[in-house]
Structures are given as C-alpha cells and as structure tokens.
Amino acid sequence: MPYQAPLKDMLFVMNELADLAAVNALPGNEDATPDTAEAVLEENAKFVANVVAPLNHASDKEPSYLADGKVTTSKGFKEAFTAYAEAGWQGVQHPVEFGGQGLPKLLATPCIEMLNAGSISFALCSLLSDGAIEALLTAGSDAQKATYLEKLVSGQWTGTMNLTEPQAGSDLAAVRTRAVPQEDGTYKIFGTKIFITYGEHDFTENIVHLVLARTPDAPAGVKGISLFIVPKFLVNADGTLGARNDAHCVSLEHKLGIKASPTAVLQFGDNGGAIGTLVGEENRGLEYMFIMMNAARFGVGMQGIGLAERAYQKAVTFAKDRVQSRDLAGSAGPVAIIHHPDVRRLLMNMRSQTEAARALAYVGAGLSDIAHNHADAEVRKSTLAVYEYLVPIIKGWSTEMSQDVTRDGVQVHGGMGFIEETGAAQHYRDAKILTIYEGTTAIQANDLVGRKTVRDGGAVAKNLIAQVRATAAELAAREGADFKAIEAQLSAASADLEAVVDFVVANVKSDIKSVFAGSVLYLKLAGLVLGGWQMARAALIAQQKLDAAEGDTAFYSAKIVTARFFADHILSQASSLRSAIVAGSSGVLALDVEQF
C-alpha cells in the first residue's frame, strides 16, 4: 500500500508537546516557524511517498550486490539519492555555513521518521552521513571542515562509521586496526572493518570513511584509540578528487533484513596502506566517535518509529479490506476483519505505541535544540542532561517497540502476513536489526543505568518523574472516565519507576550484577512511563481543543481514546516490570555456567 505520512499527528506533537514555538524563539532558529515546519513536512512527505516508499519492497527482493569490487545498489536507489541530495534534504539540520538549511533538530526529526518509513535501507546512507558531519563539526580541523563538510552536507559525498572488527564488536578495546604516522603528517591505515553500512555504493563519487585505529605508541584499551578520515578517493588541495585510496570493499553481508542496504567488509592497506588524516588529537577517537554514535542512536530510534508507522498503515489497510467471518454481534454475512475485537486490539497496540514513541522522541529533539541554542548556559546544561537521559530510551524502547508492532502487523495479516509478497514480513525482518546496531538494547540499558542514572544519583530521572506526577494531577482535576483511568495508571507507573530508580542507585555498588540483570527492563519501564506521560499530555491538550470547539474533533477524540488504550494495556505493565527488576535477579544469575 502507498505510505502516507501522518502529518496531522506529527504537527500536533511538534507544536503541542515538543513546543515548536519555544524552539523557534531560540537564537538561530528564527526561520523555524509553524508555517515553515508545515511546509517542510508536506514537501518531505510528497518526496518520500512518490520517490522513496515505492522502492522499498522491490529493493528487498533485489538487494545491492558486489561485482569486481564495485557495489551496485537496488534499482532506483541511485536516482532517488540524487533527487534527495539535489532537493537539500541531507542538509536540513546542518549549518548554513556549510550549505545546510540550519533548521532545528525538532523540525528535522519528522523528516527522518518519514524517510525511514519510506525505506530504512535507503535512509541508512543519510543517517551515517549525518553522524560523520556531526563528528567533523565537533572535532575536525578547519582544513578538514573546509575539505569535507560542504560536500557531505550537500550529499555530493557520503560518510561512514568504521568501528567494528571481526574480534571487536561492542568491546572497542579490542580494536586492532593500525595507524602508522608518516613524515608528511598523514597516517597509513592497515586493518579490516566489518558491518560498514554503505561502505561501498554507487550513489556518489566519493565516500568519507571515519575509522577507529591505534597508533604505534598508543596505550592499551579504549584510551589508545584514535579517529581518522580515510576517503575512498584522496582529495587534492583544490578540492578535486585524486588517486584511489587503499580502502576496498571485499564482500557484502547477506542479512535477515535491510537487505537493500549494502553492509560492507572493508579492507584498509592491502596495497601499501590507506592514507588517513587524524581527527582532533591522538587517543581521543572513541570520544569523537561517540558524537557520531549518539547522533546515530537517536536516528535509529526514529527508524523504529518510522517502520512501526509503515507497518501500522499496512495492517489497517489489510484489516479494512480482508473479509472473514461474521460479526460477533451478528451480521448478514462475513465482515472485514477490522470489526473483530482482537484485530482491533492488535491495531490499537500498534497505533498507541507508535504514537507514544513518536511523542517522546520529538520532545527529546526539542530538548536537544534548547540544550544547544539557549542563551542561558545553565539552561543548556540542565536540558542537555535530560536529553542525554532520554537518548538510550528513545533508541532502545522505540526499537524494541518496533519489533512488537511489526510482529502484530504480521499477525493482523494472518497467513498472508507469512507470505513475502504482502510486505508485512519485510517490516518484521527489518525491525530486528534496530535493537542490535549502534549499540544493542542491553548497551543502551547499561548506559541508562551507569552514565544516566547512577552518575547523578537519579536526579534527572527524579525530575522527570516529578513532571509526570504534575501531569497526573492535571488528569485528576478533569472529569470523565478516560481521564480517571489514565491518571490511575500513570500515577501507579510513576511510583513504579521511582522505586526502580531508587533500587538502582541504592544497590549498584553493593550488588552490581543484580542491578544490571534488570537494566533492559528498567529501560523498557522508563519508555513506557515517559511515553505514557506524553500520551496523557496529548489527551489533556486534545480535550482543551474539543472544549474550545477548535480543529478536527475526530482527531482529538481519537487522541484521548488512544491515550486511554495505552494506559490500560501498556502502562499497566509497569508493576510487573518493577517486580522483575527489584526482585527478579536471583533467577537470572542462579545457574552455574555449566548448567546452561
């Protein structure tokens, strides 16, 4: 079915929950008006619907391939990327100084969601370029910025992130790629990198690889990793392309999902050494690479949300068209399956979780804009702490959610969902990688526990819980069964989250394995509660609109009902998560290794 961007919901969340007006008032964001936002989103929606989305299913059946050292991408991808770059979409959130549009992250985020709903395999190239741009903006020299940024921002060139090696997955201390200094200030790079997204392709004339490697005298472990720019083609002083660098794709991975995205094994230095230039200072590479990874982690969260939305739309269309069995309440003949209660439950599961994750992510994007652009340094600092707390949740919870939603999408299709021709199975397969790359859900949870909760004694988490309770108080002051039900679940869930935060802070030093045994469940609990909080806020605002007889009454009524469903069916899981986190570690850790 054709993809139609949920523009009404996107604009509602941007304006009412993420406070686009406040972001628009920040220095440098004067152009990000509600009217501009609506115009940008409408144009992006047209581009994705007409150019990108139609390629998704066909590209899954005929993925990228490698022949004679060159990668040919799926039919239509190269032309779509050229159109994407020429329209300026790669540069939406990047600085005007380097040819971007300089728009805030809050406005760019729906565009990222739409592109991924169109095709995750296609969108991955842009995601990696975004990360490379962020890393060079932060740590690149003036010369490196002048050489690379404008062409990356324009989409004339693309970027990659090279961390993983056969023996070094999540444990980057095991990186062995070598960087040997040369007399001219460059380095020769030797080593193998695996799982390199768009490490080779036919979209652009050059690919800018950012590569983690060790210099000869580097200290052991992660403290000895440096970051290098290693372009596919060397760049002359005048900006033109020079000789082919000694960096080559030797194979492509065959994958469960995202098949059209070329995932390369890159070999550096087989013919004398790939030429690289140091980014920033030696031995600070992991610090710089985390700039890319944090940008990518938020982007992967948006992949989950975009994919969930696409799966939901497909399931709704099928449920309205597929006629099977009589209505339980009686009917003259078989009815469309959307009339059957459990199909309704599945669709509401899909809808409510997608909307909750979207709301939390957009709110996070708005906080990022405040953290980077507010005039008050203290406001920037405190807001950044909140945004950084949310990033592993947005990445981890949204991607775990996408697995649940795409699975439900297959279930709505029944036996036809198990058949590849319908496309529902592709969404399910594509979703699996989202909980793995850019840091597994467990790694996001470790970050949430160690860096984002324990480090400040739970202060940021407790501040967010206080805001959740303030919303619960607003719900309590409202009449109506929906608001009473939402308030009851939100209040109980906020208490569960607070109890878990207290447990983590109190026990991490004395019983660290018990705390981390429940870390993924803590991440999920935080996602449920904070997503439920946004749904509750949406319900309150929707009722205000209805009271004022303002706007689309069907849309606002649906907002309230969807928030009620989320409270009844999703938020109600909080108490069981709390129990498993606080009291469930013994079962996780009880068996000896030999007993498995």
Residues that are catalytic:
438
Give the burial class of 47: count Cβ atoms within 10 A of its Cβ; 0-12 exposed, 13-18 middle, 19 or more buried.
buried
Q: What DSSP state is assigned to residue 426?
A: H
Separation between Cα atoms, residue 363 and residue 367, nearest integer Å? 6
Of the candidates 520, 517, 516, 522, the residue with the CA atom closest to the CA atom of residue 500:
522
- DSSP at 284: -
C-alpha to C-alpha distance for 113 and 127, rounded to whole angstroms: 11
Phi-psi region of 274 (alpha: psi -120 to 50; beta: other; left: phi over 0): beta
User: Which residue is associated with the tokens 């720019």?
Assistant: 229
Residue 390 CA to chain centroid, in angstroms?
Answer: 12
Q: Would you give the DSSP letter of residue 435?
A: T
384 CB-contact burial (10 Å; exposed 0-12 / middle 13-18 / buried 19+): middle
Alpha carbon distance 44, 314 (integer Å)? 20
Instruction: Report the 10 Å Cβ neighbour count for 433.
Output: 20
DSSP of 304-369? HHHHHHHHHHHHHHHHHH-EEEE-TT--SSEEEGGGSHHHHHHHHHHHHHHHHHHHHHHHHHHHHH
Distance CA 33, CA 23 (A): 9
Q: Position of tokens 């329209």? A: 87
